[in-house]
Each structure stands twice: as C-alpha cells, then as structure tokens.
Amino acid sequence: MELTIIQQLILGIVQGITEWLPISSSAFMTFIMANFYGITDIGVLIQTALFFHLGTFLAALIYFRRDVWNLIKAIFRFKKAEPETQEILKFIIIATLISGAIGSGILIGLKNFAPQLEITGKTITFAIGLLLFFTGIIQLKVKTKGLKKEREIRNKDSVLLGVVQGISALPGISRSGITVSTLLLRKFDDTSALRLSFLLSLPIILIGNIVLNLEDMVFSSTAIYGILASFVFGILTIATLMKLSKKINFGWFALIFAMLMMASILI
C-alpha cells in the first residue's frame, strides 16, 4: 500500500515531533497506521516506522554536527582525542553493538511470528498502550537530579544503555524515554542524559535501516514528503525539548496517553 502525500506528511510530522519526546514515536505512528490507514501487518509497520526515523536521524546529525565530527575524528586518532570524546565514543560503540543484537532479534521475531497471529488495529493499540504505560512508570521513578557528566560514563553504563535501547525496538517503548530515564537513574544530569541519548540514536537508526530496510526500501514519489516533514519538524523540536527538559516530566503524559489508548479499544 502506497501512502498518499497527506498521509506521508502526517507521519513525518508525528515522527519529527515525538522522536524527541519520551513517549515513543513508533507508538504514535503505529497507532495512526493501524487505526486510520488500515495497516496491521507488523512487518510493514516496523519498516515504515524505521524508515521515517531517517528524517530525524538527519535532524540530530545536523544539530549535533560538532559532536559527531569530533567522534569521527576520534575513531582515527583515538589517543589524541579529548578524554570526554574517548569515553563517549566507547559508550556509543559498546551500547550500539549490544542494542543492535537485542533489537534485531526482537524485530525479526515480530516479523516472523506476526503472520501466525490474528493481528487487528485494536490488538496493536492495546499492546502499545501497555508498553507506553511501562515507559511512563519508569520516567516517574526519576525523582532526584544527577550531577554526573559525559566524561564519567563507564562500561557498565554502556552495557545497561545497550540493553534498554535494544528493548525499545518494541513499538510503544520510547527509545529516548527509556534511555534518558536510565541515564538519569544512573545520576547523570539532564543535559548530559539528553545529549548521550540523542548521540546514541544516530548509529542504531542508520544501521537499522541498512540491515532491516535496505532490501525492501523503495523511495516512492510521495516518500520524500514524509522524510522532509520528519527532518524539518525534528530539527525544530529538538532545541525546544533541550530547553524544556528540566521543567516538564513527560511521564504523566505517557501514562495518560497509554490509558486513553487502552480504553479506546472499547469504542
């Protein structure tokens, strides 16, 4: 099923805004596709959601371009890099390897076993609601402010973040929400947690699209509109979120939306 320009734009805008909010962009997109576009094939839902992440990948790449450039240089001149850059690079490599293995296993399992199940829009909505509820609970657990900075990231933090980012392959588990919350629980300050989480998203999104989507990826005449919308709204939203992150706890929003989604199956 080829999406129309309007449908592409809607999904792109949703992805661009919600990717940076700890409420799961994949959940929102899956909810829209399953309930309004009539798409219930798990494989298609996963591929489409992952495809739209390319727009926000480009947005993050541009926003953090200095950090990314320093990390690229550190790959070739590790010993000469700043200590903080060295720690961030090790963190990203370890966490990405772990989350890639876990996330790939989850996505492949969903795509392989989904055809054996009777999947409906309401089933998907209820499942996503439960996972969003889980995300909100984790965020509300974060009550204390941390003081740790990027340079204090350790291997055990990398392993833990790799595991939780891998789990976020499940639609409904917010990647940014669960990774930022985990970093906050590990006593990193707000700014460091957001920066590390967003930098960590870059390689896994790119690798995920290459490994899982490249073979079936087809750039239709309307797909460019969705990617552009995702990119534009992503780059407009990310700076705002960085400023508001210290004032708003999105955990309550995630819980309320989760309950509304689960209740909607009764309608």
Dump pLDDT digits (tens) for 74-116. 999 988 889 899 999 999 999 999 999 998 888 777 777 766 6
Q: How confident is the model at residue 154 (pLDDT cuts 50, 70, 90)?
A: very high
Contact partners, residue 229, CB within 8 Å, separation at least 6: 8, 9, 11, 12, 13, 15, 16, 55
pLDDT at position 34: 84
Q: What is the DSSP letter of 216?
A: T
Please answer whether residues 57 and 234 qualify as being in contact, where contact means their C-beta atoms are separated by less than 8 angstroms. Answer: no
Please answer whether residues 193 and 148 qualify as being in contact, where contact means their C-beta atoms are separated by less than 8 angstroms. Answer: no
The H or E element spanning position 54 is helix 42-63
Q: At what angle do helices 42-63 and 190-208 cross, to 10 degrees?
A: 130
The H or E element spanning position 111 is helix 83-113
Helical residues (DSSP H) of 114-173, grouped into ranges: 121-140, 155-167
Q: In Å, how far are 114, 120, 125, 210, 235 from 175, measured between CA atoms? A: 22, 24, 18, 19, 18
Q: How confident is the model at residue 215 (pLDDT cuts 50, 70, 90)?
A: low
The angle formed by the CA atoms of residues 73, 75 and 81, to the nearest 5 degrees, is: 60
Average pLDDT on 2-15 reads 90
- Check whether 118 has a pLDDT greater than 60: no
Q: In Å, how far are 117, 147, 166, 193 from 189, measured between CA atoms? A: 43, 5, 23, 6
Phi, psi of 234 (to 5 degrees): -65, -50
pLDDT at position 74: 92
pLDDT at position 218: 53
What is the reported pTM?
0.75
CA distance 110 to 198: 25
Least confident of 64-68, 203-207, 240-244: 240-244
CA distance 83 to 68: 15
CA distance 56 to 54: 6
Phi, psi of 248 (to 5 degrees): -120, 130
